[in-house]
């Protein structure tokens, strides 16, 4: 099965990916059909007049920056958002030419030149930053594209909403800068968000009253996609929901069906028999209450498993859910295999797509936000992309 973006044509064959899988002690599987499903549901929810700009920062929330973005562009996505200039440059180096909004800060003229040369869009909220991009555009005979970030109350970064109209007007007058959009972020506090949206809309209305066009107005991320249609404006910025995750319990009642994109698997490294009274792994936090079969996975909190899952993790083994036992070490985790015929080399589902070992369930067991769990997935774990159950792409960690 082929993918529509050219990046996928450079990938190994399904047979070669399957062969390489035999070498991995752990890997992450990405169901691109689920990603397409979630994107379609989001588009249906917000309607055809609202554009969707996926957030693919932090390695697409642990899923894999390049394969996820390439697939989304193949699905007709025009814009994506990243946090770092390095992420945007990786997309360009991979031949991905969609619009990329970069949230990073630029410290040198060389960085500004690279941004303009590669056709990237920078988030700005000071006149100085815009002037440096204007100068870079002048040096290259091009126009630098920006989104202006407005602080409507989050007080993280952004031009204060009362000062924003003047700044946006000044930036719009710069000969080598184009204001492609204006954006802000919610606090995700129901009482505060309403006021923040009103401030943002007031800024945009004042700027347009002065004759400055704002092509794109955007505030809504996953939370507002779930709960506040009035905040969708011209564009929404999904992240967690795009990857098939409802971050909080109330989100599941929002009427947006999602399918988790990611699962993580690991091979059993070793199986041993322990007798009643034996303790396992560090600190003796688990003592066998009876004779047991214990399996070891070569995966730990370096890879994504929170240490707080000690004696709380749940793993999929041959269609059954089996408990984790003992502490989660840097590179090892143990699980109960009693009553199974699982052996070394067999595959265990570490994170499933639903049930007791889904991302949400495992995060809850650890006392973590699922957002944190996803964003701690190690980039050193290979990512395998599948369509219709067939591998179509493989991202392996580089050797340096």
Asked if 146 and 228 sit in the same domain, the reply is yes
Q: Which residues on adjacent β-strands are paired with residue 294?
A: 272, 336
* Residue 116 within a domain: yes
pLDDT computed for residue 399 by the predictor: 53
Shared domain check, 267 and 247? no
Residues 216 and 277 in one domain: no
Q: Which one is catalytic: 57, 149, 265, 315?
A: 57
Indicate which CATH number applies to the domain containing 79.
3.20.20.10
Tell me, yes or no, whether 347 and 374 share the same domain: yes
**Coil, strand or helix: which one is 287?**
strand
57 assigned to active site: yes
Coil/strand/helix, residue 390: strand
Judge whether 265 counts as a catalytic residue.
Answer: no
Among the candidates 253, 276, 305, a domain finishes at 253
94 shares a domain with 232: yes
**Are 185 and 245 found together in one domain?**
yes
**276 and 247 part of one domain:** no
Domains of the chain: total: 2
Spans in the chain with pLDDT lower than 50: 1, 400
Q: Are residues 213 and 334 in the same domain?
A: no
- The reply to whether 91 falls in a domain is yes
The tokens for 280 are 């396992």
Kindly report the number of other CB atoms within 10 A of residue 398's CB atom: 7
| pLDDT for the residue numbered 341 | 96
Q: Which domain holds residue 129?
A: 32-253
Determine the Cα–Cα distance for residues 358 and 362; give it in Å rounded to an integer. 6
**Phi then psi dihedrals of residue 350, to 5 deg:** -75, -55
Residues 351 and 368 in one domain: yes
**What residues form DSSP beta bridges with 147?**
123, 181
Residues 106 and 194 in one domain: yes
Beta carbons within 8 Å of 306's beta carbon, 6+ residues apart: 328, 362, 363, 366, 368, 373, 376
Domain boundary (253, 283, 309) is at 253
Does 123 map to a domain?
A: yes
Catalytic-labelled residue, pool 270, 272, 276, 282:
282
- Please report which helix (H) or strand (E) contains residue 38, including its range: helix 32-46
Task: Please indicate, yes or no, if residue 399 is contained in any of the structural domains.
Answer: no
Instruction: Give which of 74, 117, 133 is closest to 98, Cα–Cα.
Output: 74
**Which residues, at least 6 apart from 202, have a Cβ–Cβ distance to it below 8 Å?**
161
Judge if 292 and 155 occupy the same domain: no
Phi then psi for residue 317, to 5 deg, are -130, 110
Q: Is residue 190 part of a domain?
A: yes
Find the CATH number of the domain harbouring 315.
2.40.37.10
Residue 340 structure tokens: 């199974």
Residue 373's closest CA among 384, 385, 358? 358
Question: Is 109 a member of any domain?
Answer: yes
Contact 213, 166 (CB under 8 A): no
| CA distances to 223, 228, 232, 352 from 189, in Å | 10, 12, 17, 31
- The domain boundary residue, chosen from 253, 274, 292: 253
Round to the nearest angstrom and report the end-to-end CA distance of the chain: 32
Mark whether 116 and 247 lie in a shared domain.
yes
Per residue in 281-323, pLDDT (tens digit) is 999 999 999 999 999 999 999 998 999 999 999 999 999 999 9
């Amino acid at each position: 099965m082929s993918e529509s973006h050219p990046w996928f044509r450079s990938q190994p064959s399904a047979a070669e990916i399957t062969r390489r899988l035999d070498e991995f002690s752990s890997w992450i599987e990405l169901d691109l059909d689920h990603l397409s499903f979630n994107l379609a549901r989001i588009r249906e929810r917000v309607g055809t007049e609202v554009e969707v700009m996926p957030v693919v920062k932090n390695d697409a929330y642990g899923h894999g920056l390049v394969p996820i973005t390439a697939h989304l562009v193949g699905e007709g996505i025009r814009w994506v958002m990243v946090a770092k200039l390095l992420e945007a440059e990786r997309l360009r180096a991979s031949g991905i030419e969609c619009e990329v909004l970069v949230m990073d800060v630029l410290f040198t003229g060389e960085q500004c030149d690279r941004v303009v040369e590669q056709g990237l869009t920078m988030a700005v909220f000071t006149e100085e930053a815009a002037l440096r991009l204007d100068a870079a555009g002048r040096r290259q005979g091009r126009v630098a594209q920006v989104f202006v970030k407005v602080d409507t109350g989050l007080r993280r970064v952004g031009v204060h909403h009362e000062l924003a109209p003047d700044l946006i007007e000044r930036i719009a007058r710069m000969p080598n800068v184009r204001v492609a959009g204006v954006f802000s972020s919610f606090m995700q506090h129901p009482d505060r968000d309403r006021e923040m949206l009103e401030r943002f809309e007031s800024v945009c209305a004042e700027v347009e009253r002065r004759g400055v066009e704002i092509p794109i107005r955007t505030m809504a991320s996953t939370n507002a996609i779930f709960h506040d249609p009035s905040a969708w404006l011209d564009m929404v910025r999904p992240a967690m929901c795009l990857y098939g995750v409802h971050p909080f319990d109330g989100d599941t009642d929002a009427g947006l069906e999602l399918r988790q994109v990611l699962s993580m698997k690991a091979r059993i490294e070793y199986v041993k028999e322990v007798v009643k009274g034996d303790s396992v792994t560090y600190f003796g936090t688990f003592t066998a209450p009876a004779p047991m079969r214990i399996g070891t996975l070569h995966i730990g909190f370096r890879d994504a498993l929170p240490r707080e899952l000690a004696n709380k993790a749940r793993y999929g083994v041959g269609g059954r859910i089996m408990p984790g036992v003992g502490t989660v070490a840097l590179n090892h985790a143990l699980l109960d295999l009693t009553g199974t015929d699982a052996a070394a080399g067999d595959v265990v589902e570490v994170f499933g797509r639903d049930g007791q070992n889904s991302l949400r369930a495992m995060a809850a067991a650890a006392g973590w936000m699922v957002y944190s769990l996803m964003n701690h997935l190690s980039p050193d774990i290979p990512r395998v992309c599948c369509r219709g159950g067939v591998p179509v792409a493989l991202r392996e960690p580089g050797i340096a």
